[in-house]
Structure 1
Amino acid sequence: MDDRTSTVRLWLRNAAVLTLKELRCVLRDRNMMVAIAIAFSVGVYLVATGVHADVANVSVGVIDSDHSGLSMRIREAIRMPHFHPPVEIDRAQADAAMDAGRFIFILDIPPHFEADVHAMRAPTVQLMVDATAMTQSSLGTAYLNEIVLRETLAYLKVQGIEARLPTRSVTHIFFNPNGESVWFASVMQVINNVTVLAVVLVGAAVIREREHGTIEHLLVMPVRPSEIAVAKIVANGLVILVAVGLSVALVVRGVLAVPSVGSLPLFLLGTAFYLFSLTALGIMLATLTSSMPQFALLSVPVFVIMYLLSGSTTPRESMPLLLQQAMLVSPSTHYVKLAQAILYRGAGLNVVWPQFIAMTGIGAVFLAVAMARFRSMLARQG
């Protein structure tokens, strides 16, 4: 028992010393630290405010062949912030304007529109849509259809069909009632940064040791491969964990004013578990390559697939069933679910504990494989 205890103490002491050494190396790498700072501050802000999935400031052209009170009412109802004030154009200019990308929507109001509405002749209003702007075109079409219908009924002082029904549906939108894309994009960008930087940072640390020849220095020291690997996992993961905490507190909650109601310490605890699995994956990928370009070519498709198919950009339920089941072996799938539950819905540990267990199990498998390959790599180096 004494020998075993002394062995454990020696392992912990060596791992702690190597962790401090690795942490100093990471902090002294100014280029890497600047990249991490920019990714979790400016990067999060620009993606959250620059990438909109909702309808905002959309250009609309109007072919008004009626110039009646009703057509003017419809035109005045198309306003900011969803749409720019509509621009009246001639019918002959419509095709060229759409081809040039000047307008996403062109609303064609026919002649005698108001008179036909009063006479119940069911006139046709044409809406031309540039569907290359996929998200804005689909949502904007629904908004413009609602505007035309609402203003027509209000102009005729006619109640909508909903008022005549015996029942009425009331919609309550939880967690993001106004559909603000900033609330969603900011947190998802933080997750994307964690996925990319965790794999790259620890993998680059292993490759750097090999390319600079410093790994031979470690081989002559009385340390185990597990101590070296754990030191790299802890040091690099700690740097990213601090960056995540500052990003959520200062950028997401502070600058962007995203009202995340969940517990930040619980989210950071889940991030630590996620970083454990990702850094183990990074070491495993680094042992499969012999240079930084090879590692980059191998890691890029890995974390791109992890990000795109984790449910952070599109719901997993919309993916093929086989793909949903295959992505259960990815820690990003469980981390996205955990992050959304905590930060968006204020979930506690009693809700997200299955994700903690899943990330721990996946990380343990990655670590076991990484340790086996890391030992063989060091043996070849020796």
Structure 2
Amino acid sequence: MWQTLSNIYRLGIKELWSLWRDPAMLLLVIYTFTGSLYVAATAAPETLHKATIAVVDEDRSQLSARLIGALYPPQFMPPADIPLYEMDRVLDEGRYTFVLNIPPDFEKDTLAGLQPALQLNVDATRMSQAFTGNGYISQIISSEAQDYVRGYRAETHLPAELALRARFNPALEHSWFGSVMELINSITMISIILTGAALIREREHGTVEHLLVMPLGPAQIMLSKVWSMGLVVMLMVWLALQLIIQGALAVPIEGSLLLFMLCVALHLTATTSMAIFMATVARTMPQFGLLLILVLLPLQLLSGGMTPRESMPEFIQTVMLAAPTTHFVKASQAVLYRGAGIDVIWPQLLSLALIAGVLFTVALKRFRRTISQMA
């Protein structure tokens, strides 16, 4: 027993030294858990930010000036004042995302209760800003016009009032969501790449044959790769949480980091086993890369991390219950965002353990068959 554990330990150390001597792979791991997290959290915000807008003010009234003044940073760039004949040209040239046309006598008709129409032209090729900005501008115009009219008329009361409470992210900061979800996706991606590359590297260098002449079983070889590559990922996850997410981005973590690391360990057992199975199917790194695309994209897109699972077809929801990422994403969000304990996420932990056991067994069987063919 002790000899078996010693063999697994020493083989794992060999894998760590092999990774240390691979600068390209080492750089990929470091960037994925540092720069990639920061870019995902800050480079592409879902909220409106510095959108370009121009205004055709044909009214030149106090109300139109009030509407223009309400379009201020950081949601919008300072509005540009353009004449009517330039409206189509600036949109064709892509200079502005929004062009607001305020018609003549807008203030007069508004105070008379005629409900005049404004025209908002949107460059829909900038899809994310166009969708979000349309709602922003509509809300701003409605609110400012109502406040302006109240200065001339008796105040009207709505029959009901909506009180909005944003839980777990009161300011709706995209960086809180983007960084954590990028970390979750990176754990899956890097664990598969590291473990699969470690096995294919040995096959390409011919070191698998050296292992076969030693008193080592397939389970020992496989376990050494699982624990060593899993340890690298867990170490990088801990550093990313401390230095990038909680440090540079100041994202508050509500739950227990130790409980989250337990989720990571179970998930890594499943993904590293999956990687070994994939590495026995692929013969070279290019083949492994193509296979990785086919496997990784569904795991990330359909696990509930990018879009809610409830919005997916029921068939997809049922099938993805067999994927470890589905349960890992749900458990991670519960722990990191909502501060859930083990009494809440135990179904996900149990599912991860079962899936990891099945994947490890299947991968070990395939790995044993592959080694026997090489022998």
Please classify the TM superposition score into its range, dividing by the shorter chain length: over 0.9
Seen in structure 2, the aligned counterparts of structure 1 residues 254 and 169 have a Cα distance that, compared at 3 Å, is same
Q: CA deviation at 1:158?
A: 5.6
CA distance in structure 1 between the aligned counterparts of 2:153 and 2:221, rounded to whole angstroms: 70
Change (3 A) 1:284 1:108: same
SS in 1 for 2:117: coil
Structure 1 stretches of 4+ moved >3 Å = 158-163
Write out aligned runs for 1:302-313 (5 A): 302-313=295-306
Offset at 1:111? 0.3
Are 1:310 and 1:332, in contact at CA under 8 Å, matched by a contact in 2?
yes
Q: CA deviation at 1:166?
A: 4.5
Distance 1:119 1:166, change over 3 A: closer
Q: Residue 21 of structure 1 aligns with which residue?
A: 14
Map of 2:230 onto structure 1: 237
Match of 1:169 in 2: 162
Say yes or no: does 1:322 pair with 2:315.
Answer: yes
Question: What SS is found at the alignment partner of 1:164?
Answer: coil
1:106/1:127 contact within 8 Å kept: yes
Which consecutive unaligned segments of at least 5 residues does structure 2 have?
none
Whichever residue aligns with residue 245 of structure 1, its letter is W
SS in 2 for 1:127: strand
**Correspondence for 2:92 among 90, 94, 99:** 99
Deviation string for 1:258-287 (max 9, x for gaps)? 112111111111111111100000000011
What is the RMSD computed on CA atoms of the aligned residues? 1.7
Following superposition, the deviation at residue 135 of structure 1 comes to 2.7
1:38 lines up with 2:24 in the alignment: no
1:344 deviates by 0.8
Alignment of 1:225-304 (within 5 A): 225-304=218-297
Alignment partner of 1:193 is 2:186: yes
Identity of aligned residues (%): 42
Q: Secondary structure at the match of 2:242?
A: helix
TM-score (normalizing by structure 2): 0.96
Question: Bigger CA drift: 153-162 or 193-202?
Answer: 153-162
Q: Is the 8 A contact 1:206 1:286 kept in 2?
A: yes
CA shift, 1:83, in A, is 0.8
CA-to-aligned-CA distance 1:358-379 (integer Å, 9 cap, x gap):
1111111111111111011111
Contact 1:44 1:190 (8 Å CA) reproduced: yes
Shift of 1:159: 10
Equivalent residue in structure 2 for 1:68, among 37, 49, 61: 61
CA distance in 1, matches of 2:122, 2:86: 15
Moved more, 115-124 or 240-249: 115-124
Q: Which residue of 2 aligns with 1:5?
A: none
Please list every run of 5 or more consecutive structure 1 residues that lacks an aligned counterpart in the other structure.
Answer: 1-7
Equivalent position of 2:43 in the other structure: 50
Quick check: 1:153–1:160 contact (8 Å CA) kept in 2?
no
- Which one of the candidate residues 115, 120, 131 is aligned to 1:138? 131
Q: Deviations over 1:65-115 (max 9, x none)?
A: 001000000000100111111111122221221222211111111001011
- Amino acid in the other structure paired with 1:87: A
Distance 2:253 2:26 in 1: 27
- Determine helix, strand or coil for the equivalent of 1:82: coil
